[in-house]
Amino acid sequence: MQWETVIGLEVHTQLATKSKIFSGASTAYGAAPNTQACNVDLAFPGVLPVLNREVVNCALKFGVAVGAEIGRRSVFARKNYFYPDLPKGYQISQFELPIVGKGELIIELENGESKVIGITRAHLEEDAGKSLHEDFHGLSGIDLNRAGTPLLEIVSEPDMRSIKEAVAYARKIHQLVVYLGICDGNMQEGSFRVDANLSIRPFGQEAFGTRTELKNINSFRFLERALNYELERQIDVVESGGRIVQETRLYDADRDETRSMRSKEEANDYRYFPDPDLLPVEIDESLLEQIRDELPELPTAKLQRFIQTYALGEKEAKALTASRPLADYFEVVVEAGGETKMAANWVTMKLGGALNKAGLNLADSPVSPEQMGGLLKRIADKTISGKIAKQVFEAIWNGEGDADTVIEAKGLKQITDTGAIEPIIDDIIANNSKQVEQFRAGKEKLLGFFVGQVMKATRGKANPEQVNELLLKKLKG
């Protein structure tokens, strides 16, 4: 039988705020255990949560970016369950009235087509602490630094029909939240975590099959592998006459399999109710206006603009707009005088390669975009050749100043004076009579040899086009 895959994703994004959602404790990653867990995070008696304004702004930015209905009045609710990394015995979340309602996101598929994925809702909640199950004499150790870190949980419709679509959607959400500056997107640090719901049904059947939920996947590669495993497993179960049980399964990356989490004695019964410690959040039109006005250009719009404004191919434009800092860098390079195609090439290949090799982020690039633009300007106006430019790039990278300074200091200016190149060519022709003979006998490939000799003699500073021209004239003449 042919099976159709149905996938919906819940993405937990940690919001990039300085302090927690309901307390003034820091959210900085990597602090010593329990140094960033204050009495609100620890649920001391008598403390009260106070909502962080920036958290609301982050949620609104996302809502506006996906064209969602904004909950003009949203309500925090208590989700009750007992777990040691949740000191209150409930998680403050949103249930009936989330801050972001229905929206949509367009994903691009491999075949070049795009598809609209529905977003059901996005709601605010607090993250829990971390449990460490290493051996503490049979006990668990709890670090509550993460407790109270703001999360925006983005819930999709079950609109994805393949694993590729699911991964494309997750990547698109990731790109969007990072573009919006509401999440740092660091998956190793858990800033962006994915839960996936997967079910199968015979092609043509309308009703959904029973789904399983895969929890806490923190890389796109693991998402793909976990879904692949789970899809195969479900097909095996159904085709061998079994039934899928609705359950939560954990993906074990080491064994590349999903495992049933010991099912709780009873189904989750969270007994949501409005949190009496928090009043409804009201969003007025002026705040929404402000959010709309301040919204940065989004990835899809930027991609289109790059293709049109800079006459770039889609592949180049995609590479450049993959991240906002890279796109910004490129635009400064162009503004500083870089020709667009050349700039695209230098930024993605040469600079990208050098950064990669040095293990640096773009933000830490030793070559500023202004310097890069200045360098490319000197290629475009033929002050230096492309080959010399690589040498100049290294010098800029090593902190020897901008392109003009380096070119001047090292005497790298291209020789375009015919009078200076001609004697060198004459010399080379005189000293290589055998090759000249062969060339004249029709072995035209030897032109490269002569160009090489001239470049060597001028230490790469001769203008290659000019050398070509002069050589041909003299060799054929």
Partner 1 sequence: MSLDRSDIEKIAHLARMAVDEDRIEGYATDLSNILGLVAQMDDVATDDVTPMAHPLHMAQRLRVDEVTEVNRREDFQAIAPKVESDLYLVPKVIE
Which of 7, 142, 334, 421 binds partner 1 (CB under 8 A)? It is 142
132 binds partner 1 (CB under 8 A): yes
Write out the two tokens for 303: 């991609």
CA-based nearest residue to 122, from 82, 92, 151: 151
Q: How many CB atoms lie within 10 A of CB 9?
A: 26
Which of 125, 127, 143, 159 binds partner 1 (CB under 8 A)? It is 143
CA-based nearest residue to 20, from 59, 58, 52, 53: 52
Residue type, 158: P
The stretch among 26-34, 100-108, 324-332, 400-408 that binds partner 1 (CB under 8 A) is 26-34
Write out the two tokens for 422: 């001609």
For residue 331, the SS3 value is: helix
The stretch among 179-187, 266-274, 333-341, 437-445 that binds partner 1 (CB under 8 A) is 266-274
Contact between 21 and 150 (Cβ < 8 Å): yes
Calpha distance 133→123 (Å, rounded): 30
326 binds partner 1 (CB under 8 A): no
| Four-residue CA torsion sign, 286, 300, 158, 55 | negative
CA dihedral in degrees (191, 217, 76, 123; nearest 10)? Answer: 80
139 binds partner 1 (CB under 8 A): yes
Q: First and final CA of the chain: distance in angstroms?
A: 76
Sheet holding 273-274, edge to edge: 90-94, 76-80, 273-274
The stretch among 161-169, 260-268, 393-401, 434-442 that binds partner 1 (CB under 8 A) is 260-268
Residues 75 to 104 in contact with partner 1, rule: CB under 8 A? 75, 80, 82-84, 97
262 binds partner 1 (CB under 8 A): yes
The stretch among 257-265, 330-338, 354-362, 405-413 that binds partner 1 (CB under 8 A) is 257-265
282 binds partner 1 (CB under 8 A): yes
Instruction: Please state the closest distance from residue 285 (CB atom) to partner 1, in A.
Output: 14
The stretch among 177-185, 280-288, 306-314, 383-391 that binds partner 1 (CB under 8 A) is 280-288
CA-based nearest residue to 49, from 124, 105, 107: 124
The full DSSP string for 332-374 is: HHHHTT--HHHHHHIIIIIIHHHHHHHT--GGG-SS-HHHHHH
Calpha distance 398→396 (Å, rounded): 5
Instruction: Please state the closest distance from residue 225 (CB atom) to partner 1, in A.
Output: 22
Q: How many CB atoms lie within 10 A of CB 144?
A: 23
464 binds partner 1 (CB under 8 A): no
Give how many residues touch partner 1 by CB under 8 A.
Answer: 53
Which CB atom, from 11 or from 97, has the smaller least distance to partner 1?
Answer: 97
- Reported in sequence order, the residue ranges of 203-311 that DSSP labels E, i.e. its strands, are 212-217, 248-252, 257-260, 273-274, 281-282
48 binds partner 1 (CB under 8 A): no
131 binds partner 1 (CB under 8 A): yes
Calpha distance 138→289 (Å, rounded): 54
Which CB atom, from 271 or from 315, has the smaller least distance to partner 1?
Answer: 271
Which of 3, 4, 33, 475 binds partner 1 (CB under 8 A)? It is 33
- Contact letters for partner 1, residues 2-21 (x by CB under 8 A): ---------------xxx--
53 binds partner 1 (CB under 8 A): yes
Which CB atom, from 49 or from 373, has the smaller least distance to partner 1?
Answer: 49
Instruction: Please state the closest distance from residue 81 (CB atom) to partner 1, in A.
Output: 9
The stretch among 32-40, 183-191, 225-233, 289-297 that binds partner 1 (CB under 8 A) is 32-40
The stretch among 3-11, 127-135, 354-362, 462-470 that binds partner 1 (CB under 8 A) is 127-135
Q: What are the distances in angstroms from CA 459 to CA 2, 412, 432, 455?
A: 66, 9, 19, 6
Residue type, 336: A
Which CB atom, from 253 or from 301, has the smaller least distance to partner 1?
Answer: 253
Which of 100, 144, 155, 198 binds partner 1 (CB under 8 A)? It is 144
Contact between 302 and 320 (Cβ < 8 Å): no
Contact between 13 and 127 (Cβ < 8 Å): no
Instruction: Please state the closest distance from residue 351 (CB atom) to partner 1, in A.
Output: 34
Instruction: Please state the closest distance from residue 217 (CB atom) to partner 1, in A.
Output: 16
30 binds partner 1 (CB under 8 A): no
261 binds partner 1 (CB under 8 A): yes
Instruction: Please state the closest distance from residue 176 (CB atom) to partner 1, in A.
Output: 21
Which residues lie near partner 1 (CB under 8 A)?
17-19, 23-26, 32-39, 42, 50-56, 75, 80, 82-84, 97, 131-133, 136, 138-144, 261-262, 264, 266, 269, 271, 274, 276, 278-282
